[in-house]
Structure 1
Amino acid sequence: MKSTGRTAALPTALALALAFAMTGALLAGCAPSTSGGGPQKDEKSGTLRVWLFREVGNEPKERVVDRVMRKFEKRHEGVRVDVQYIPVDSRAEKIKGAFNDPSSAPDVIEYGNTDTAGYVENGGLADVTEEFADWPQARQVDPTAKKSVTVGGKVYGAPFFVGVRALYYRTDVFGDLGIEPPRTLGQVASAARKIRAERPGMYGLAVGGAYTYGAMPFIWAHGGELARKKQDGTFTSAVDSPRAKRGISAYTDLFGDGNCPAVKCAEMGGNENVEAFAAGKAGMVLAGDFNRQAMEDGKVKGDYDVVPLPGTERGSIAPAFAGGNNIGVLKSSSHRTLAVALMRELAGKETQRELFDAMGFLPTFTDTREEAAKKEPFVEPFVETLDAGTEFVPATPGWAEVDAGLVLPTMFQQIAGKKSGVDEAAGEAARKMDEAFAE
């Protein structure tokens, strides 16, 4: 499959959602006035306030949302919907203010899926477990997407869109060097080293010590976990388990002169990895469906393809992190019934189909996603990856502290720079994670 045809737009909110777990730490410790319980009234008319993320090139999203709102207002007499697109740079403070001042808060909100546990801890999101269960469309929601709105067995929203990473590779370089698309992680490493040996000016596989979401699949593919949930509902770190350490070793072994020199690559994050590939400086990269526009705008246009990142066994697919955004109802809403109905409309199949066409957002419904793959062949490897089973970060407010504290990047960088061995670095990371989970 050559990368030709319609180009899906870059869903910036997704990339931001993955990074925004860090902002959850800013909200921790804030005891919102909504935490004591929601309002007693459930008004059936008036104005519903909605906050959504503003994208780069937001007009297509606005057109889809406007159509949803017009239909909603037509079906609900006496109801007006006011949509505000919030700037990402002031997002943390804006959400914090809404949680503390219900009078200024929206009824419905878009939020990053790594933020769920922190927002629930802060008392901002309404429990919509019963309404979600009664929603017929919910039966086709991807299990991992549902997990991203679930905390303590309760549901706090509806998945809005999902995004995963797969393996981009240079078809021209692979052809010139006689390399077949890799079928195992071992073959990925072998191909990377051959490319580096034959093309010394290129990275074989672009990797980054600060690329947490690119490293996680290596841990999961080897049977490791980031953390385990205990019977009391709390989490304990598992990055120092034997299987997790095998995955960590497989990833950090890719740092060095034989693939991606640590002096440069240890500091690189996901954006730098994508930029290196798009600029023609790497033979492979682990990147998202949401990175396609960067490739199309780069030097590699027409000379790349995508396959799922393989697992350790031939024919297997490495579990990927399921990123994305959700739509939730604030506990402070005085229009709960209407807000839940609007949440369903915004996160429903029809809207997700339109957003895929307009923005390239991957649907969270398995059947709708299959339709998208037939319509746009480029997304097939990402759909395969999702269907093979994805993973998520621990659903606990402590994850925000782990992420903001750069616990995992520090571990990878210490190993890549040969400042610590795998056992020592993983043990230190596990200790810091447990401290964050205990708070």
Structure 2
Amino acid sequence: MKIRRWTTVALSGAVLAATAACAPGTASKKNSADEQTGTVKVWLYDEANRAPKEKVVADVIAEFKAAHPKVDVQVSYIPTDAGPRAEKMKGAFNDPNSAPDVVEFGNTDLFGYAAAGGLADITADLASWTEGADLPQDLKDTTVVNGAQFGVPWWIGLRSLYYRTDVFTELGIKAPTSYAELVEAAKKVRAAKPDMLGIAVGGKYTYGGLPFVWAAGGDLAAQNNGAYKAAIDSPQSQAGVKAYTDLFAKDICPPEQCADLTGGKTVEAFAAGKAGMAILPNSSRSAVEAGAAKGKYAVVPLPGQTPGSIAPAFAGGNDLGVMKSSQHRTLAVDFLKVLAGKKYQLAMFDAMGNLPTLASARADVVAKDPFLKPFMDTLNAGTKFVPKDAAWAKIDAQAVVPTLFQKVVTGKADVSGASKEAADAMNAAFGGK
């Protein structure tokens, strides 16, 4: 099977949110305009290998300019590293003259940007966009705050269960279809291969642990009358936390080896041949192919509690939005529609491996590359998201969820006590404390 190059920033909405999602101050009150000539300024994320992305964007610009011959497009590539990117956005919010018209951002950044008044409400602008109807509601909802849409999901990243086919075949293990089967398989691998982790899980791996919480019917927080309150200490959430932290056992993934593992470290462990299973994003494919596990793995959806069920995954990824200060609002929206349309979502997949958000485009990429089917099955089963509140940036930056996992894994607190502490920290953040 031909292996496409997969970008390593493919979950920036998930992995870069900790500091980048912090609201960059309050946007200037400069009134926006709707000029029909001039230059549309676009900010997109930089990449380790930008050339394929630039080529697709150049084609988008050519198509856009054919429809708007009196308009120029100026594209700038901004840092993906959290700190520099946050400073860049802060400057744009505080000085509209330096701001772009169209901007790419991590999907968990949206709430802080919207709360700061920096993004335009484009609900009405997208009402007549026919391709918008091809966007699944759960993904569209990640861009909606208080009934207003502030962006368009451009690409997504999902996690599924990678497993070693050679080891499973040798030991007569089938790919797990339930949590119980996952535990059983992990124990068999660890018992037969003491030098391997049954499954690589991490105490610092927020988005590896949350699917277990969601599969148990729990959640991070619940919204009531427009305000969020922590739900991580609910009985359902505690059951999910226990399901995840129970995997940190000597006969699966010993705490002394796994308590400090991050998502990136679990990728490294599996790629190096040191784990029988791991919960990894689609973007980890290139890393796995470059390691000892090359040609010896397959992927299935992460199973839920009951046989045949799929644990909900975090819908990471990036959005496109229009700045509220834009002086070219209609042109900005028009450019966004072209860039976010099916034609160029497919082109970005071919160039960068970015998974499309439009349903018909997803079907097309699975037909091209069957490797992606488990991720699409996971997506189609329904995804989950973080609280749509600017406070999530603070919660994430404070490592509230990883701290919860680590306290349980290391025996510093039981599930009840650790989840209560996490809930208190979340509620303080939601309350602006």
Partners in 2 of 1:70 and 1:134 — Cα distance?
23
In the alignment, is the contact (CA less than 8 A) between 1:25 and 1:404 conserved in 2? Answer: no
In the alignment, is the contact (CA less than 8 A) between 2:161 and 2:299 conserved in 1? Answer: yes
1:32 corresponds to 2:32:
no
1:68 corresponds to 2:63:
no
Deviates more, 1:11-20 or 1:187-196: 11-20
Match of 1:267 among 260, 264, 268: 260
Partners in 1 of 2:21 and 2:383 — Cα distance?
25
Partners in 2 of 1:165 and 1:96 — Cα distance?
31
The 5 A counterparts of 1:228-247 are 228-231=222-225, 233-247=226-240
| Aligned-partner SS, 1:203 | coil
**1:136 paired residue number:** 130
Partners in 2 of 1:340 and 1:268 — Cα distance?
41
1:325 corresponds to 2:321:
no
Q: Which amino acid aligns with 1:16?
A: S
| Aligned-partner SS, 1:23 | helix
Partners in 1 of 2:343 and 2:411 — Cα distance?
51
Alpha-carbon deviation of 1:100? Answer: 0.3
The 5 A counterparts of 1:334-353 are 334-353=327-346
In the alignment, is the contact (CA less than 8 A) between 2:21 and 2:109 conserved in 1? Answer: no
| Aligned-partner SS, 1:12 | coil
**2:394 paired residue number:** 401
1:284 corresponds to 2:280:
no
In the alignment, is the contact (CA less than 8 A) between 1:110 and 1:326 conserved in 2? Answer: yes
Shift of the 11–133 alpha-carbon distance from structure 1 to 2, 3 Å rule, reads farther
**1:381 paired residue number:** 374
In the alignment, is the contact (CA less than 8 A) between 1:132 and 1:158 conserved in 2? Answer: no
Q: What TM-score results when the alignment is normalised by the length of structure 2?
A: 0.97
Alpha-carbon deviation of 1:256? Answer: 2.1
**1:307 paired residue number:** 300
1:13 corresponds to 2:9:
yes
Alpha-carbon deviation of 1:433? Answer: 0.4
Partners in 2 of 1:380 and 1:24 — Cα distance?
31
**2:120 paired residue number:** 126
In the alignment, is the contact (CA less than 8 A) between 2:204 and 2:260 conserved in 1? Answer: yes
The 5 A counterparts of 1:358-369 are 358-369=351-362
Partners in 2 of 1:374 and 1:88 — Cα distance?
31
Alpha-carbon deviation of 1:26? Answer: 4.2
Q: What TM-score results when the alignment is normalised by the length of structure 1?
A: 0.96
Alpha-carbon deviation of 1:6? Answer: 2.1
Alpha-carbon deviation of 1:190? Answer: 1.1
**2:204 paired residue number:** 210
Alpha-carbon deviation of 1:331? Answer: 0.3
Q: Which amino acid aligns with 1:57?
A: N
| Aligned-partner SS, 2:241 | helix
1:429 corresponds to 2:422:
yes
1:192-222, Cα deviation, whole Å (9 max, x unpaired):
1111111110000000000000001000111
**2:48 paired residue number:** 56
Partners in 2 of 1:170 and 1:24 — Cα distance?
35
1:360-386, Cα deviation, whole Å (9 max, x unpaired):
111101111011101111100000000
Alpha-carbon deviation of 1:24? Answer: 4.2
Alpha-carbon deviation of 1:152? Answer: 1.0
Alpha-carbon deviation of 1:264? Answer: 2.0
The 5 A counterparts of 1:247-262 are 247-262=240-255
Q: Percent identity of the aligned residues?
A: 49
Match of 2:406 among 377, 401, 413: 413
Shift of the 142–9 alpha-carbon distance from structure 1 to 2, 3 Å rule, reads farther
Alpha-carbon deviation of 1:17? Answer: 2.6
Q: Which amino acid aligns with 2:169?
A: G
1:382-411, Cα deviation, whole Å (9 max, x unpaired):
000000100010100010010000000000
| Aligned-partner SS, 1:274 | helix
| Aligned-partner SS, 1:229 | strand
Partners in 2 of 1:226 and 1:347 — Cα distance?
30
In the alignment, is the contact (CA less than 8 A) between 1:144 and 1:322 conserved in 2? Answer: no
In the alignment, is the contact (CA less than 8 A) between 1:24 and 1:118 conserved in 2? Answer: no
In the alignment, is the contact (CA less than 8 A) between 1:373 and 1:379 conserved in 2? Answer: yes
| Aligned-partner SS, 1:272 | helix
